[in-house]
Structures are given as structure tokens and as C-alpha cells.
Amino acid sequence: MVATIHNAVKKYKHHIAMDHLSLAVTQGEVLGLLGPNGAGKSTTIRVLTGLIKADAGEVTLFGQPLRGTAREQKRRLGVVPQDLALYETLSARDNLNYFGRLYGLRGPALHRRVDEVLEAIGLSDVAGKAPKRFSGGMKRRLNIGCAIVHQPELLILDEPTVGIDPQSRNHILDFVVRMNRQGTTIVYTSHYMEEVERVCSRVLIMDDGRVIADGSVEELTRSVLFEERVTLHLKSPSPTLLEALNAVQGVTRSELDGRKLTVISTAGAANLPRLLECAAPYGILGVMSHVPTLEDAFLSLTGKKLRDVGEGD
């Protein structure tokens, strides 16, 4: 295993961020780490990278117990924090040179590697310019470049596409896939389910400081196939409709969002005719059945939206 956390506990006053948490990062995978706000993701990343120490439990990195002073272990690790870690007044090239030197690169080897990274992140043509003049997407790409200039074996990306344009997002996602194909093991956290579906070979879902699900995207989406989901668009919906729907045998949940009605039933309930009968008086404008997604699995397992506002972790 590239990294493991075993039975780890971390508390902040009255909040338990890691509740006897165990996980493993396997060599060569892209591991997606998901969870609602307050689930413990950020704390897990900090413990895994040695930025903070767990109150209890064991952490290993590259097969050895992780110590706060384990410089050789950390040389093999790259971290892209959610908050940009750049020197705004230095050029893009000088930023990469600086971080490369921190990891022990020198001379021609450093210059060659900086040129390779500038090309990989698509910033060769602005290498002499300072990040303070860059767009948000360009800064994010340079942030990644600074984390990979020393060619880490394990790369941890914490929300690497927050607040950027679609073109830069696609560039970063393509880059993640390319890095993984070249042999880099990656841990990826994101609030965008479609990103996780696109790049991750395995997904861990956390809640309340614990791992509550572990599997591929396909395995997790299959876990919600026991539900039938129907979406109806109505002309004049009413909350009283929810009472009628919830009384239908097999219906487990119904939600009204403006004119959109979502009804979830147990598998095999064959409720569509009954749902249409209940909804007909409210003017049915459209009906759509729903194929389960990673977000459905997430909601089924946690009962929370990924963007729910909650206590930080």
C-alpha cells in the first residue's frame, strides 16, 4: 500500500473529525474522497500528509510509519491544497524553481524538469509572467505544477478545480488522468461528482469521521439500484400532493422543488401508473425516469447533499 490510516481518532473540542477511521491507498489508483461538509475529509488529508497528528491510531506512508520529521517520505509526496500556495510576485518559472529546490532538485535536472512541467500544465508561453496577472484557472494549474515538479509517487489534490472556468477544469482533469497513466498514485477530493466519476478508479464516501462506502463508481451506483426514481414536472404543484404520494405503497420519499417533483420507490414497486394518477390534477408537463449516478449513491448513503453547509472539517 502507498498509504494507510488505521483506527485513527481526531477530535476538535466537541467535534469528532476522525472516528476510528481506517482507509488504504493502493499503488496506481486514483482514489476519490467524498463527503458532506464536516465529514472529516480535510482532517484526513492533513493527517495523511503529516500536517497534523491523529490523537490515536496509526498512519503509514510508503510502507513506513509516518513521522512529523520524515523528510524522505515527504519528498515522495505532492500536495495540491485547496488554498493556492504560490508566490504571486515571482514568475511561474521562478515558482517552479523554488519548489523544485525545496525538494532537492538542482542545476540542469531542475531546469529540464521545470520546462517539462510548464509544458504539461500549459503555461510555457507565460513562464516569465507573475501569477498575480493570471486567471484563476492558470493559477490552479501552476499550483499543481509546484506540487509535481519533484515527480512525486503520491499526489494529493484537494479541491483542485474550485472557482475556475470549464476549459481549465478540463485541462486539469485530463492532466490527472495522464499523470495516473504515467504511474502516479492520486488521492482526489472534489465537490463535483462528475469530476470524480470521470477520473477516479475507486471512491471512498465519508460521513461523521468514518468511511461508510468504498468501491468503484459502478459498484456504488449499483448499490442504489434498489430504488426507482421518477421525476415529474408539474404545472401547479401543491404540498398536499406529497402527502398523497407518500401514502402510495412502495414510495420511500418524495420531494418538491419548485415545479419539479421527485419520487423514490423501492425496486419493483411499479408505481408509475399510481404516481401519474396522483399527479394528474396538478398538470403533468413532463415525466422522466432516472438512471442512478454517483450523486444518488452519495445521497442514499449520507442523506445529505455534497454542498450542504455544515461545520468545517
pLDDT digits (tens, 9 = 90+) for 10-60: 999 889 999 999 999 999 999 999 999 889 999 999 999 999 999 999 999
Instruction: Please give the residue that has the higher pLDDT: either 310 or 72.
Output: 72
Q: 226-291 architecture in CATH?
A: 2-Layer Sandwich (3.30)
The answer on pLDDT for 309 being more than 70 is no
The 3-state secondary structure of the chain, one letter per residue: CCEEEEEEEEEECCEEEEEEEEEEECCCCEEEEECCCCCCHHHHHHHHCCCCCCCEEEEEECCEECCCCCHHHHHCEEEECCCCCCCCCCCHHHHHHHHHHHCCCCHHHHHHHHHHHHHHCCCHHHCCCCHHHCCHHHHHHHHHHHHHCCCCCEEEEECCCCCCCHHHHHHHHHHHHHHHHCCCEEEEECCCHHHHHHHCCEEEEEECCEEEEEECHHHHHHCCCCEEEEEEEECCCCHHHHHHHHCCCCEEEEEEECCEEEEEEECCCCCHHHHHHHHHHHCEEEEEECCCCHHHHHHHHHCCCCCCCCCCC
The answer for residues whose C-beta is within 8 angstroms of residue 264's C-beta and 6 or more apart is 227, 228, 229, 251, 252, 253, 254
Q: What is the pLDDT of residues 213-267, one digit of tens each?
A: 999 999 998 877 667 889 999 999 988 999 999 999 989 989 999 999 999 888 6
What's the mean pLDDT in 127-135? Answer: 95
The answer on pLDDT for 306 being more than 50 is yes
CA distances, 129 to each of 85, 124, 184, 258 (Å)? 17, 10, 29, 48
Please state the φ and ψ torsions of residue 69, each to the nearest 5 degrees.
-105, 15
The matching CATH number, chosen from 3.40.30.10, 3.30.230.10, 3.30.1960.10, 3.40.50.300, for 3-221 is 3.40.50.300
Domain boundaries, the chain: 3-221, 226-291
- State the pairing for strand pair 56-61/64-65: antiparallel
Q: What pLDDT sits at residue 228? A: 81
Q: What pLDDT sits at residue 311? A: 42
